[in-house]
Chain A
Amino acid sequence: MFASLVLASALSSSPSVQIPFERYRLDNGLEIILAEDHRAPLVAVDLWVHVGSGDEAPGRSGFAHLFEHMMFQGAEHIGEDVHFDVLRKLGATSVNGTTNSDRTNFYEVVPQNQLETALWLESDRLGFLLPVLNEKSLQNQRDVVRNERRQRYDNVAWGKERFAVNAALYPEGHPYRYLTIGKHEDIEGASVDDVRAFWSSRYVPSNATLALVGDFASPKAKALVEKWFGSLRTEPAPKKTSLPTPHLKASSRVDVADPFAKLVRVRFVWHGPRNLDDDDLDLGLFTSALSAPGWGRLQRALVVERPLCESVFAFESSAGLSGSVQIGATLKPGTDLGLVEKILDEELTRAKESEGVNQVEINRAQRRTEAAFVFELDEILGKAERLQSFNHDVGDPGYSAQYLERLRARTPATVRAAAHKWLDQPRVVVVSRPAPPMPPTPGATGPAPAAPPKTSATPAPATTGGAP
């Protein structure tokens, strides 16, 4: 009674992922995306500023994110540190902001009758941040951001590894080198003048996009947007940073001593394509076929059929300037690292060859992406983020259907070709090992230089590893 199940597996039709929307610009260059959705009496307000840690200057790592924090510290007319307070009182939910290498977003979901207050708050910080900017609140947020770094990276297992990966991929001077969170000493060194300069040059209306999704009437929303944002300054948008894609000249190994890790983890890392290149789609499918639960090639080889590892992973992560492809495993205690590296290499080689990643695996990965697109439309904030991200990446908020079409057009041949193209290149092998406690970071309240991870160049991809 189940025989037909697997055969009848292709989705007969592709569910619609079209989000009706309208896009226009104010005279000052601020871009607006509107999408009505009347299922609930709510509006998602989602402001993207097209600047991220990828736009940081050398010596200023972590600054875009620190700046994002300063955007919550108040503005001229609304007052100091009241953003969350005002929104809480009127029943807003999902109030936050985030920074990545490409963009910074600020969002809240408000009751439909409070849209104007959300626009009042957002327009004040975009237009009038500087008059209330002061050293005291900056010092406070430097501390808060450094606490964030401690909580997410410095005081947990495998935080050091994340820095080691980017340090191996990106040379000194490349804005991806120190991750979006940045170095302690750079965060500590950020000044009020830096904030002022960043706001003046980067947070201009012409470098931002405001998306509203939810229960509003578009003509009324347009009038409110014009009322609050229309008078903001008109400045040219800054030029986007453009850097040559970095290349690894030779493969290398990096050993990371991690006092909070109790298990060994190994990770192979390559440079990858930029966001939404064809190769990006291919490598996303390729890594899905390696990492999917149960049937994924690395899962079978290292977790299910030979239970050597606690977990495995494979993913492709792409951003505006470049990306990376990473595969690896967290070993069970007592498992031989050399054996795991050997199996990782064998599986990788097999997956790239002609008996490798096949149509069934690719269909599964494609369908999973399609289903995820449908599921995320359930939330108005999810819709807003979808419109914003395609608008940011390809200049078309309604790119979903075309994206899925492109994804469906990928074939085993294109996937394997992309895998060869990127994964036959030099790579970095990063091994995190449990280590005894480190002495406390000097100057917990002052500049804190981190010890660089040990790096050694090796002539060829390493297929065997030493014992711990």
Chain B
Amino acid sequence: MNVVVLAAWLVGAGPPAVATGPEPVRTVQPPPAPERPFVVPAIQTGAVPGTKLDVVLVEDHSLPAVQLRLVFPTGSIGDPGDKTGLSGLCARLVNEGTARLDKVAFEGALADLAASVDVGAGVEQSYLSLHSLKETWLPTLDLAVELVANPGLREDDLQRVRARSLAQLQQQRGSAAGIAQRLQGRLTWGSTHPLGALVTEASLSAIGTKDCAAVMAGWRPDGARVFVAGDVSMAEVTAALAKRIERFHWRGQTTKAPSVPAALFDPLLDGATVTLVDVPGAEQSVVVVAGLGPARQASDHEATEVMTAILGGSFSSRINMNLREKNGYTYGARAGMSYLKKRGSFTTSTSVRTDVTGKALQEISNELQALRTGPVSDIEVARERDGSLLAFPASFSTSSATLDSWSSLFFYDLPKDTLKKTPARLKALTKADVERAARGHVPKSFRLLVVGDASRIRAEVAAHAAAGTFGKPGPVVVVDADGQPRLP
């Protein structure tokens, strides 16, 4: 039948065209045209009069638009142990409106301005952001500042956002990817570490409007920083903020988040190298291989980034070419470092067809071992080093991209000449530097999480656990979506 359909299709399409044969000129990659010297776009810095609120601006008049982000150095790392999820839930509550305008009125006012305003909480910083056309940026800023200075924090709003969070929590436990996301923090940092704590029904239910009022009392101008990109001048930004801080009687010092402690593994809860969560009927197994990594401030940062890029930073990386292009086990596989303010972690992840889970784990382990102990090729180093170097101008392709590049220096407390020096540091990298970074920063042992259909993959996963493919040999520990042990 297929043949008939195909034939009909070909007839309808006319005779197949014939390629005219190779063209020799095409066999050689064209040489690049001359490079144009690139200078990192500068920022302006300033301060809001009468406050300790610093401003970082990328002024750009090419579009009539403004993006502003007010960043507070406080976040979920400060959530108390019995109220995990506090910062996140409070940010959702604040987005429900101000003391003056309820959710419907607040969103209506924003829609009239064709603008967006959002409040969010991360691990070590929280933010208020706005995006608007130049024409409406001042009334939008009014609404934005009102949101954090005079949030509504209504009891019925809390009930509503909590109920939605509880429903989403229930859904998160339903799929392999959701469960992996849920357990990744404890896999990396340990179950007694603040980043290993799980949001649960109990922790969400323990949070009251008073708790959120306390959180928001810690979002204050002094000690915060404003990042702005777009069609405004420094004078416009500082004047606009000064006036609004005055108007909302919004004063005081931001609560600083505590620093993230070192990984804290509990011998009883985190003793196993390999953890399995059963999702009956899963068509794929989600695989997360976690380890710790260097901090962003490490002196060999560029070498580490090139090293992890070779492993899993792009389509051309070893792990993607192996698992996807050679073996067809997955749609994609990635590996790389993530950085908190002062700490780093190293994650390799993918989602593989259920029936090749064991084989895929072996390939991942082989790649990690080969990187840690084996050579990298000149071709790989050239590709990732030169690629990063030549892609560097793209990190400044728009004013908001420029601002993002600069804001990371503030987050990591890096010297202000870091961006300027990055190209030269990349250029100087050698194969030996990259191999040294691999020896130093690819852990000898990892912790592995597999989320999939246990009835079909357990034996293979257990074999890897027993063989110590990823770390200390031992049994595979089966847990539920909340990390609680399940009896075999």
Q: B6 on the interface (CB 8 Å rule)?
A: yes
- Asked if A88 meets B163 with Cβ closer than 8 Å, knowing A77-B23, A378-B400, the reply is no
Taking a contact as CB atoms under 8 Å apart, the answer to whether A440 and B453 are in contact is yes
Residues of A within 8 A of B353 (CB): 143, 146-147, 150, 444-445
Partner among A127, A189, A300, A303 whose Cβ is within 8 Å of the Cβ of B2: A189
B343 CB, nearest partner CB in chain A, Å: 28
Taking a contact as CB atoms under 8 Å apart, the answer to whether A371 and B114 are in contact is yes
Please report which residues of chain B, range 366-406, place their CB below 8 angstroms from some CB of chain A when the two chains form the complex: 382-384, 386-394, 396-400
Q: B109 on the interface (CB 8 Å rule)?
A: yes
B380 CB, nearest partner CB in chain A, Å: 10
Taking a contact as CB atoms under 8 Å apart, the answer to whether A88 and B384 are in contact is yes
Please report which residues of chain B, range 157-182, place their CB below 8 angstroms from some CB of chain A when the two chains form the complex: 159-160, 163-164, 166-168, 170-171, 173-177
Q: B10 on the interface (CB 8 Å rule)?
A: yes
- The 4 lowest CB-CB distance pairs between A and B, nearest first, are A294-B107, A91-B390, A143-B328, A9-B112
Stretch at the interface among B33-41, B121-129, B191-199: B33-41
Partner among B36, B167, B283, B399 whose Cβ is within 8 Å of the Cβ of A332: B167
Partner among A40, A84, A142, A151 whose Cβ is within 8 Å of the Cβ of B315: A84
Give the complex CA separation of A259 and B175 in angstroms. Answer: 9
Give the complex CA separation of A236 and B12 in angstroms. Answer: 13
- Asked if A11 meets B136 with Cβ closer than 8 Å, knowing A84-B314, A111-B390, the reply is yes
Give the complex CA separation of A139 and B328 in angstroms. Answer: 9
Q: B27 on the interface (CB 8 Å rule)?
A: yes
Q: B304-330 vs A: 1/0 string, CB under 8 Å?
A: 000000000011100000001110111
Q: B81 on the interface (CB 8 Å rule)?
A: no
Taking a contact as CB atoms under 8 Å apart, the answer to whether A155 and B394 are in contact is no
- Asked if A77 meets B393 with Cβ closer than 8 Å, knowing A150-B283, A155-B351, A367-B114, the reply is no
Q: A181-207 vs B: 1/0 string, CB under 8 Å?
A: 000000001000110110011101000
Q: A413 on the interface (CB 8 Å rule)?
A: no
Give the complex CA separation of A196 and B41 in angstroms. Answer: 48
Smallest CB-CB separation from A13: which chain B residue?
B135
Q: A179 on the interface (CB 8 Å rule)?
A: no
Give the complex CA separation of A201 and B328 in angstroms. Answer: 28
- Asked if A154 meets B283 with Cβ closer than 8 Å, knowing A88-B387, A200-B16, the reply is yes
Q: B22 on the interface (CB 8 Å rule)?
A: yes
Chain A interface residue count, Cβ-Cβ cutoff 8 angstroms: 116
Taking a contact as CB atoms under 8 Å apart, the answer to whether A437 and B280 are in contact is yes
Q: B354 on the interface (CB 8 Å rule)?
A: yes
Residues of A within 8 A of B33 (CB): 112-116
Taking a contact as CB atoms under 8 Å apart, the answer to whether B17 and A233 are in contact is yes
- Asked if A200 meets B135 with Cβ closer than 8 Å, knowing A42-B394, A91-B394, A231-B23, the reply is no
Q: B347 on the interface (CB 8 Å rule)?
A: no
A-B contact pairs, 24 of them (CB 8 A): A41-B393, A60-B9, A84-B315, A88-B316, A88-B383, A91-B391, A95-B315, A109-B397, A111-B394, A114-B33, A116-B33, A147-B331, A147-B353, A150-B284, A151-B284, A151-B331, A151-B351, A152-B331, A157-B174, A260-B175, A294-B111, A332-B167, A375-B65, A441-B283
Q: Which residues of A contact B (CB under 8 A)?
A: 1-2, 5-6, 8-9, 11-13, 15, 39-42, 57-60, 76-78, 81, 84-86, 88-93, 95, 109, 111-117, 120, 123-124, 127-128, 130-131, 139-144, 146-148, 150-152, 154-157, 189, 193-194, 196-197, 200-202, 204, 231, 233, 235-236, 238, 259-263, 292-295, 300, 303-305, 307, 310-311, 330, 332-333, 363-364, 367-368, 370-371, 374-375, 377-380, 434, 437-441, 444-445
Taking a contact as CB atoms under 8 Å apart, the answer to whether B64 and A147 are in contact is no
B455 CB, nearest partner CB in chain A, Å: 9
Taking a contact as CB atoms under 8 Å apart, the answer to whether B281 and A259 are in contact is yes
Taking a contact as CB atoms under 8 Å apart, the answer to whether B330 and A304 are in contact is no
A3 CB, nearest partner CB in chain B, Å: 11
Give the complex CA separation of A330 and B170 in angstroms. Answer: 13
Q: B456 on the interface (CB 8 Å rule)?
A: yes
Taking a contact as CB atoms under 8 Å apart, the answer to whether A58 and B170 are in contact is no
Taking a contact as CB atoms under 8 Å apart, the answer to whether A89 and B383 are in contact is yes
Q: B104 on the interface (CB 8 Å rule)?
A: yes
Residues of B within 8 A of A86 (CB): 29
Most B CB within 10 A of own CB, among A57, A147, A204, A444: A147
- Asked if A39 meets B62 with Cβ closer than 8 Å, knowing A9-B113, A92-B391, the reply is yes
Give the complex CA separation of A438 and B170 in angstroms. Answer: 19
Smallest CB-CB separation from A121: which chain B residue?
B29
- Asked if A333 meets B64 with Cβ closer than 8 Å, knowing A88-B314, A147-B331, A379-B398, the reply is no
Give the complex CA separation of A6 and B100 in angstroms. Answer: 14
Give the complex CA separation of A261 and B279 in angstroms. Answer: 12
B200 CB, nearest partner CB in chain A, Å: 15
Residues of B within 8 A of A295 (CB): 104, 107-108, 111
Q: B13 on the interface (CB 8 Å rule)?
A: yes
B129 CB, nearest partner CB in chain A, Å: 14
Taking a contact as CB atoms under 8 Å apart, the answer to whether B160 and A304 are in contact is yes
Give the complex CA separation of A380 and B164 in angstroms. Answer: 38
Q: B487 on the interface (CB 8 Å rule)?
A: no
Residues of B within 8 A of A42 (CB): 393-394, 397
Q: B433 on the interface (CB 8 Å rule)?
A: no
Give the complex CA separation of A6 and B159 in angstroms. Answer: 28
Residues of B within 8 A of A444 (CB): 283, 353-355
Residues of B within 8 A of A112 (CB): 33, 36
Taking a contact as CB atoms under 8 Å apart, the answer to whether B173 and A262 are in contact is yes
Residues of A within 8 A of B111 (CB): 292, 294-295, 364, 367-368
Give the complex CA separation of A303 and B177 in angstroms. Answer: 26
Smallest CB-CB separation from B41: which chain A residue?
A40
Taking a contact as CB atoms under 8 Å apart, the answer to whether A84 and B316 are in contact is yes
Taking a contact as CB atoms under 8 Å apart, the answer to whether A378 and B65 are in contact is yes
Residues of B within 8 A of A114 (CB): 32-33, 390
- Asked if A440 meets B23 with Cβ closer than 8 Å, knowing A89-B382, A378-B398, the reply is no
Partner among A197, A263, A375, A379 whose Cβ is within 8 Å of the Cβ of B171: A263
Residues of B within 8 A of A293 (CB): 107
Smallest CB-CB separation from A81: which chain B residue?
B325
Taking a contact as CB atoms under 8 Å apart, the answer to whether B64 and A15 are in contact is yes
Partner among B5, B106, B324 whose Cβ is within 8 Å of the Cβ of A57: B5
Q: B115 on the interface (CB 8 Å rule)?
A: yes
